[in-house]
Structure 1
Amino acid sequence: MPTEGKVPARELKRRQTRERLLGAAISEFRRKGMVAAEVGEIVSAAGVAHGTFFFHFPTKEHVLIELERREEERMAEELTRFFKKSPDLPSALTEIVRVLLALEHRLGTTLFKDFLALHFSTTRPPQEEWRQHPVIVAVVEELERARDRGDIPAGTDVFYNAVFFLLGLYALLITIPDIASVREPVIEKYVTTALHGMLGPSGS
């Protein structure tokens, strides 16, 4: 009988198998992209039976959802640490961009685009309530602080501003080539435009 607080051997094995599958799937997605990735290659690399993949991940998109959950937690922690410094609004928006670009560097261009495209997918499994997305929560809370400080108008809908800023940024990073001379001025203009929208007519 397992001691209190100790993970049973069967559950530990299940978790280890899931981690092997996740790692193998992410590697396959990096090479080929999610659509072209082959489950046969994934299970072979993980050393498990074909059906084991679908026991842990009903679809390939579920792999991306798990990756999204982990990366969002990581990014939210980074943003929260930065926001504790009480940055001004332009610095806060710029940091959000920096954190996303760091994610692109970690995942590689192919997987990063699949990761962001998940937000626009019509076949994505049912969407969770927005408060389960740590990055959205972190950005909304920072905009609330900016509103409380008087940096943006009192009537500003911070939730929609946060979501529109993030989704617009995702769309830009998916569609614009990763070429500094092309991407940087567009992102800079986007941040400036988003900032003016949040500030309203008096802050433009």
Structure 2
Amino acid sequence: MSEVQDKPTGREAQRLRTRQRVLDAAIREFKSVGMAEADIGAIAEAAGVARGTFYFHFPAKEHVLLELEAREEARIAKELTKFLATPHDLKSALHKAIQLVLGLERRLGSVLFKELLAIHFSPARPLNDEWRDHRMIVLVVEEIERARDAGEAQIAVDPYHSAVFFLLGLYAMLTTTSTSKTLRANALDNYLITVLRSLEPR
């Protein structure tokens, strides 16, 4: 029988509710003006807390983005895991990953999405942060490994570097390509074709 984890109660439940309010208010502020211009006082007021409460939960504005990144990555990784549990090939798996990241961009808006990517690649990230801590990278690595073992990808391919190449290229394209839906869709289709060709068995 699996153990049922008790929900937090009392002070811990109140702390988590307050943290969520602060996080939600900060995200709204970041979406509106960006992280650099975000006003901590405005965030605290919108969350209904004292200014010091913001710093209690998030020592710096960057910590809001780190929390948001962890939550959003868990969300899209869960969706990709569901998809990978169904019959698929490498092309459809990578296409699904692209669609999930596009969905993230739509949810966050262009400004916040770019700032999330900036913090993701920032040298200021915790020193103990490893790629295995990022479920999305792990899933893409595992999918490329599966494709290699099934003969869909070349034997010599390194799954980790191929996954990083795919995701880095995707993030770069989303932050630099035209906002025109048609032009962007064409660019992403061509990008996926390029990635798949680089992985084709030789």
Residues 1-204 of structure 1 correspond to what in structure 2 (within 5 A)? 5=6, 7-126=8-127, 128-199=129-200, 202=202
Percent identical residues: 51
Q: Give unmatched runs, 5+ long, in structure 2.
A: none
1:114/1:103 CA distance change after superposition, 3 Å: same
The AA in structure 2 aligned to 1:172 is: M
In 2: Cα distance, 1:6 partner to 1:104 partner:
31
Partners of 2:7 and 2:85 in 1: how far apart? 36
Q: Which segments of 5 or more consecutive residues in structure 1 lack a partner in the other structure?
A: none
Verify the 8 A CA contact 1:21 1:42 in the aligned structure 2: yes
Other structure's SS at 2:156 match: coil
**Residue 188 of structure 2 aligns to a residue in which SS?**
helix
How many residues align? The count is: 198
What is the CA-CA distance between 1:7 and the residue it aligns to? Answer: 2.9
Tell me the amino acid that sits aligned with residue 81 of structure 1: K
Q: Report how far residue 68 of structure 1 moved.
A: 0.8
Q: TM-score, normalised by structure 2?
A: 0.91
Partner amino acid for 1:179? S
**2: distance between equivalents of 1:127 and 1:107?**
27
Aligned partners of 1:123, 1:6: CA distance in 2, in Å? 33
In 2, the alpha carbon distance for the partners of 1:6 and 1:102 equals 30
- Read off the aligned partner of 1:102 and give its amino acid letter: G
Can you list the C-alpha shifts for 1:86-126, whole angstroms capped at 9, x where unaligned? Answer: 31111111111111111111112221121222223233444
Q: Is the 8 A contact 1:93 1:191 kept in 2?
A: yes
| One-letter amino acid of the structure 2 residue matched with residue 83 of structure 1 | L
Deviations 1:42-75 (A, max 9, x none): 1111111112111111111111111111111110
